[in-house]
Amino acid sequence: MPVSLLVTRPLPAAVAARARAEFDATFNPTAASYSPEELIANAEGKEALLISPSDSMNAEMIARLPASVRMVATFSVGYEHIDLAAARARGLAISNTPDVLTDATADIALLLMLSVARRAGEAERVVRAGQWGGWAPSALLGRDVTRKSVGIVGMGRIGRAFAKRARALDMQIHYSNRRRLSPELEQGAIYHADADEMLPLVDFLSLHCPSTPETYKWLNADRIARLKPTAYVINTARGAIVDDAALIAALQDNRLGGAGLDVFDGEPNLNPGYLTLENAVLLPHIGSATIETRDAMGFKALDNLAAFFAGQEAPDRLA
């Protein structure tokens, strides 16, 4: 008997085909996320759930899950939407999808860094609005990225992949991390045990740390004030790491060069203050959104489910 699986969001075609072939899969027929009530109702009788970061698995939801559910695989590397302690207490297995989205996400951080410094969003809006008056020596001047300095907050897999890209631009790399990396991983990057000391030194600040209670609104008004007034902030990690009101105020007052953001607190309902800022490049959480990467994430989630229900250790088991 194939394992009964509830899939809460539409999957890439190849992943959906494999889910259908290997599991007794039921799919949410709409593109929208389930409400908590719908999720619980649809999970009835299912042994496994394949969820996304927009499906909260907090302690309350985990307590409400039907007894049939033995494993939840999230289609994401981030797992701040899952209460691991509550899952462990209930004996619920949890897995995520690390590694396979590292390069795609680092690419988006690089894209945002270049786009915001070179004013690509603004420039594209000028062309589309029919306002381009032709080449001009002083029009749409941005800032160089090559040979500038960048501070990376969180030097895990994605932070290091971003550092590799920054190194290709001859950038000076600073980083803060809970632990200092080995020289092989550091590759000349300058470690700051205290991230606050790094802030005044860098032309770009790129956030790559997980969203946890400790990092909630980490980039607040005090830390923004420590940055150079020309500095650019890049966030491809999680919106909750940034105090939106403080960042918007700094961008409005030109106390920062700009911001390139792929993630937002409360997304998709981002703070509307961002929408009118010319010095912000805004993307709708597309860090991992390539066909290759999303296929790999989906296959990884299915691999974890398959291993668990075959009685093996799920390779990316978190709980």
Residues with active-site annotation:
238, 267, 285
Single out the segment in contact with ligand DGY by CB under 6 A; choices: 70-78, 132-140, 204-212, 311-319: 70-78
Is 77 among the residues that bind ligand DGY (CB under 6 A)?
A: yes
Is 288 among the residues that bind ligand DGY (CB under 6 A)?
A: yes
Torsion of CA 128, 130, 134, 135, to 10 degrees: -30
If the CB atoms of residues 158 and 259 are measured against ligand DGY, the closer one turns out to be: 158
> 87: closest CA among 63, 67, 68, 66?
63
The size of the interface with ligand DGY (CB under 6 A), counted in residues, is: 7
If the CB atoms of residues 168 and 291 are measured against ligand DGY, the closer one turns out to be: 291
Report in angstroms how near the CB of residue 104 gets to ligand DGY at its nearest.
8
User: Which position among 6, 69, 101, 163 is part of the footprint of ligand DGY (CB under 6 A)?
Assistant: 101
If the CB atoms of residues 77 and 195 are measured against ligand DGY, the closer one turns out to be: 77
User: Which position among 8, 28, 42, 76 is part of the footprint of ligand DGY (CB under 6 A)?
Assistant: 76
Single out the segment in contact with ligand DGY by CB under 6 A; choices: 24-32, 74-82, 196-204, 210-218: 74-82
Report in angstroms how near the CB of residue 54 gets to ligand DGY at its nearest.
10
If the CB atoms of residues 189 and 302 are measured against ligand DGY, the closer one turns out to be: 302
Is 154 among the residues that bind ligand DGY (CB under 6 A)?
A: no
Report in angstroms how near the CB of residue 210 gets to ligand DGY at its nearest.
9
- The beta-strand segments (E) located in the chain are 4-7, 24-27, 48-51, 71-74, 93-95, 149-153, 172-176, 190-191, 204-207, 232-235, 258-261, 280-282
If the CB atoms of residues 82 and 202 are measured against ligand DGY, the closer one turns out to be: 82
**Two tokens at 83?**
């209460």
Report in angstroms how near the CB of residue 53 gets to ligand DGY at its nearest.
6
Residues of span 169-228 touching ligand DGY by CB under 6 A: none
Q: What is the DSSP string of 201-256?
A: G-SEEEE-----TTTTT-B-HHHHHHS-TT-EEEE-S-GGGB-HHHHHHHHHTTSS
User: Which position among 8, 25, 53, 215 is part of the footprint of ligand DGY (CB under 6 A)?
Assistant: 53
Contacts of 288 (CB under 8 A, 6+ apart): 76, 101, 104, 105, 294, 297
Is 287 among the residues that bind ligand DGY (CB under 6 A)?
A: yes
CA distance 295 to 273: 34
Is 78 among the residues that bind ligand DGY (CB under 6 A)?
A: yes
Q: What are the φ/ψ torsions at residue 234 (nearest 5 degrees)?
A: -120, 130
User: Long-range CB contacts (< 8 A, 24+ apart) of 212-215?
Assistant: 212/80, 215/240, 215/241
If the CB atoms of residues 152 and 263 are measured against ligand DGY, the closer one turns out to be: 263
> What is the layout of strands, in order, in the sheet containing 71-74?
24-27, 4-7, 48-51, 71-74, 93-95
CA distance 43 to 170: 51
Contact positions toward ligand DGY, by CB under 6 A? 53, 76-78, 101, 287-288
